[in-house]
Amino acid sequence: MATLPTVAVYGLGIIGSRCADQLAKKGYTVRTWNRTPKPRKDSHPDPATTAQNADFHSFYLKDGIALREVFNQLRGELKPTHTILNHSTVDLKSTQWLAAQCAEIGCQFLDIPFTGSREAAAQAALVYYAGGDSEVLEKARPLLEATSKEIKHLGPVGSATIIKIATNLISASTVQALAEGLAITTAHGIAPELFTEAVASNASGSVLASMKLPTMAAGDYDTHFSMENMHKDSKFALQLAESKNLDTPGIRVTSEAMGNQCKKGHAHLDFSALFKAYPEQ
């Protein structure tokens, strides 16, 4: 049997930690690094050490700032045979920056964010959105399949970043709308279960609505996707809109609402804590 490649995983937050576990479970040699040290046998003290002898480099970091900082620390270890997989949701400029860095080194790069949250990561059921060359995607496919249930090739580098940000705009706006609907119905004495049932039978119903309405109604904000991460993605959406002179008032208002919740100390709660804006919460 051919030996599986070695994978370096940078960022052991909600998603990276679970993906590293899945890769190890499937027989990959995994080398990990996290800014705040984690008690794992496969952890290394810094990004450069982690990068040594790794064929694939998978990033599950917060944003473009983290990505650039970490990449600059391991850059010297990269070789043309290496493949860089950025799974972090970053701004478009950071994706373009990373693509240019990889081109300079001569290594391969995929812009490959994902959808699916904490439980999907735990079950190796993420959906990857890929931007980049088909050849690079085919080379990385077996590795990507170890943590996902689907891989969608969406076009060149940058296309996956833009689509991921636009889908998060929809998720954030949807949860803000769910919070408003739940606040109005509850204030008028309607049981949350009835509202949830009605939404499920309505064209506005969705997987997201069925996941978030019951937990919002119960005041359960256990983090699947944090308020601060959704807030940063809303800012990326506003940047993308502004760069094409588009006015997007819906996400602007939702972004402000998420910023307010972060300021109130709710940055690490699930982004469905948008419902906390209403007095009885």
Ligand X SMILES: NC(=O)c1ccc[n+]([C@@H]2O[C@H](COP(=O)([O-])OP(=O)(O)OC[C@H]3O[C@@H](n4cnc5c(N)ncnc54)[C@H](OP(=O)(O)O)[C@@H]3O)[C@@H](O)[C@H]2O)c1
The residues binding ligand X (CB under 6 A) are 11-16, 34-36, 60-63, 65-66, 69-70, 88-89, 114-115, 117-118, 224-226, 229, 233
**Can you tell me the distance from the alpha carbon of 212 to that of 244, in angstroms, rounded to the nearest whole number?**
32
Measure Cα distances from 85 to 60, 62, 157 in Å.
9, 14, 11
Task: Name the phi and psi angles at 263, rounded to 5.
Answer: -65, -30
Nearer to ligand X, 99 or 195 (CB): 99
Q: How far is the CB of 120 from ligand X (least distance, A)?
A: 8
Nearer to ligand X, 30 or 70 (CB): 70
Q: How far is the CB of 80 from ligand X (least distance, A)?
A: 25
Q: How far is the CB of 94 from ligand X (least distance, A)?
A: 11
Q: How far is the CB of 68 from ligand X (least distance, A)?
A: 9
Nearer to ligand X, 185 or 229 (CB): 229
Nearer to ligand X, 73 or 186 (CB): 73
Q: How far is CA 46 from the centre of its chain?
A: 22
Which residue type does 102 have? C
**Can you tell me the distance from the alpha carbon of 193 to that of 216, in angstroms, rounded to the nearest whole number?**
11
**Can you tell me the distance from the alpha carbon of 86 to that of 99, in angstroms, rounded to the nearest whole number?**
10
